[in-house]
Structure 1
Amino acid sequence: MDEIITPAPLDARIADLHAQSRLRVWSLVVTFLGDAIVPRGGRAGLGVIQSVMERLGVDSGAVRTAMSRLASDGWVTREREGRLAYYRLAAEGRHAFDAATRRIYASGAPQWDGQWSVVIAPANAANLRADALGEMGYLRIAPSVFLRAEAAGAADPGEAASGMLCISGTGTDLPEALAQQWASDGLAEAYRRFLGGWEPMARALDDAVHLAPLDAMAARTLLIHDWRRLILRDPGLPEALLPAGWPAQAARLLARRIYTPLVAQSEMWLTGEGVPPQRDPVTFAQRFGIQPGISASIG
């Protein structure tokens, strides 16, 4: 029987989380809900959320404050059954996570046929929409101009580009100045920090170390939290336009290498906490290009 322990790499990652200048608990909660709860119908009790957050070193008071903020900002809705409170991502929260889902769990850089999309925003809307457009792969190349390589499967900008001029065109060459904005040294270094920070966890899992179910859920949440924040900084150039040695794919393969063995134990914990079963196990099993069947035993 495989030994179930809490390896030092998990505690090291938690310590790194708290060493950051400011921990955004609400963002950590959104990661947990989007990654683990949405596939199971979208609703989780406050106690379930608190258990994961407390394992990540976040006290219950901070969790309650974060939930109140998310509710007041329209990111989650709260439902009561007797004395118990349940939360689910509201339309705004679901849209924010769903729009990024393809990029977070993709198996690699997108395929590209030379198509580009340009969005020109009114001056008074550009700053307001910049973050949302950035998460969809648009690079801000001028105060009111955003550019994206139209790769296969790219999310429709939808509401983020409402009221803006959208233009499509074709071109296979990327000017050096734009290439440097997209594939910046700072972003490359962020990918390398991700690789260095998570490699010890990958090695532990490669050595057949099994985390206890709650620890697996905490590790999975923290992995996707780190990965989500990183991947949404990256406009996501197609592979044909990336510089040689670009570390994004190595980081993605590391995320997959860690995520895959965490699934069974973390899903076991969710089931034990009474969270309803997955609604579409086949789609879930395709995250990071994993073959269908990984979650066949998940109830």
Structure 2
Amino acid sequence: MPSDPYSAALNILTATGTQRVWSVLVSVFGDLARHEGEGIDGPVLTALMAEAQIKPEATRVALHRLRNDDWITSVKSGRTSHHSLTRTGRRLSLAASARIYSTPVEAAQGWQLVLLETATSESREQMEAQGFAPLAPRLYIGADTATPPAGTLALPATTAPRWLGAQFEPKDLSQDYAALYERLAALDALKLDAAALSPIQIGVLRSLIVHGWRRLVLKHPDLPPDVYSDAWRGHDCRALVTGLLARLPRPALSALHD
């Protein structure tokens, strides 16, 4: 077993070995350089990915894909490439950041039921894009801050029965959250100290924490804890992510490059 907290943390975060490299890069840029004018030089990105146990060849292939998908742009200065989010990548990253970085206090507190005129008035994909999860044909559940489509019947709700969560929680997502909770709890138990870590080490830990969380939290509507079943660990994961990121403050890009 690793004797130092950093190595133990890396082992926990990379144990699954199932990260898609392009998706990890989206998390890296989304956490460390998502604002206009921010970017990461090639050697720094190589160092971050090497710490995450991702080979340079895999990083190059993933960068090529993200450039083709209009997520990343790369500019060469001498022998050094400078990578940054495109306008599209920046817009999507900023839009997702509200969900990714919201604290338990900032998460949804109220909810509503929305009844469609017919089962085909709106597609499931359209409703999910607007922040609603299906409960039954024509019936959806969403946060009270979500805007229902025109022509629907929106009913504010208060107390949720204990069986409600099981009606809309995807079982595979619930299992993924349970697994993520175990990893995050193990990380939390390490009591990582940012003062004992380099900016690169902090950057890679943050990016991998965000990556594991991002790939789950963006797959479902933001709903209050009361409407979920006891088996749902999504809100527990949010609390752990909030605490871990607070313990590992985002390093300045200048510190990463130095």
Distance in 1 of aligned mates of 2:43 and 2:193 = 32
Distance in 1 of aligned mates of 2:169 and 2:193 = 34
Contact in 2 for aligned 1:29/1:49 (Cα 8 Å): no
Distance in 2 of aligned mates of 1:117 and 1:47 = 53
Contact in 2 for aligned 1:117/1:149 (Cα 8 Å): no
Length, aligned pairs only: 252
Partner of 1:272: 255
- 1:31 shift after superposition: 0.6
Distance in 1 of aligned mates of 2:120 and 2:44 = 43
Q: Deviations over 1:79-104 (max 9, x none)?
A: 23333222222233223322221111
Shift of the 165–45 alpha-carbon distance from structure 1 to 2, 3 Å rule, reads farther
| TM-score of the aligned structures, taking structure 1 as reference length | 0.69
Shift of the 165–59 alpha-carbon distance from structure 1 to 2, 3 Å rule, reads farther
Which amino acid is the alignment partner of residue 225 of structure 2?
Answer: E
- 1:205 shift after superposition: 1.7
Structure 1 unaligned regions, length at least 5: 158-163, 276-299
Partner of 1:187: 173
Shift of the 68–185 alpha-carbon distance from structure 1 to 2, 3 Å rule, reads closer
SS at match of 1:78: strand
Residue identity (%): 25
Partner of 1:295: none
SS at match of 2:103: coil
Distance in 1 of aligned mates of 2:117 and 2:50 = 42
- 1:214 shift after superposition: 1.9
Distance in 2 of aligned mates of 1:146 and 1:250 = 27
- 1:27 shift after superposition: 0.7
Distance in 2 of aligned mates of 1:93 and 1:140 = 29
> Where does 1:1-299 land on structure 2 (aligned, <5 Å)?
6-16=6-16, 18=17, 20=18, 23-39=19-35, 41-108=37-104, 109-112=107-110, 114=112, 116=114, 130=125, 134=128, 137-139=131-133, 147=140, 149-152=142-145, 167=152, 169-172=154-157, 179-205=165-191, 210-244=196-230, 246-263=232-249, 267=251, 270-274=253-257
- 1:206 shift after superposition: 5.9
Which amino acid is the alignment partner of residue 45 of structure 1?
Answer: D
Shift of the 136–102 alpha-carbon distance from structure 1 to 2, 3 Å rule, reads farther
Structure 2 unaligned regions, length at least 5: none
Contact in 2 for aligned 1:220/1:259 (Cα 8 Å): yes
Distance in 1 of aligned mates of 2:117 and 2:37 = 34
Provide the aligned C-alpha RMSD in A.
Answer: 3.7
Shift of the 206–138 alpha-carbon distance from structure 1 to 2, 3 Å rule, reads same
Which amino acid is the alignment partner of residue 157 of structure 2?
Answer: T
- 1:106 shift after superposition: 1.2
Distance in 1 of aligned mates of 2:61 and 2:118 = 38
Q: Deviations over 1:175-208 (max 9, x none)?
A: 9997434324433322221121122221112688
Which amino acid is the alignment partner of residue 95 of structure 1?
Answer: R
Shift of the 171–208 alpha-carbon distance from structure 1 to 2, 3 Å rule, reads closer
Contact in 2 for aligned 1:44/1:86 (Cα 8 Å): yes
Distance in 2 of aligned mates of 1:75 and 1:229 = 17
| TM-score of the aligned structures, taking structure 2 as reference length | 0.78
SS at match of 2:83: strand
SS at match of 1:42: coil
SS at match of 1:51: helix
- 1:140 shift after superposition: 5.3
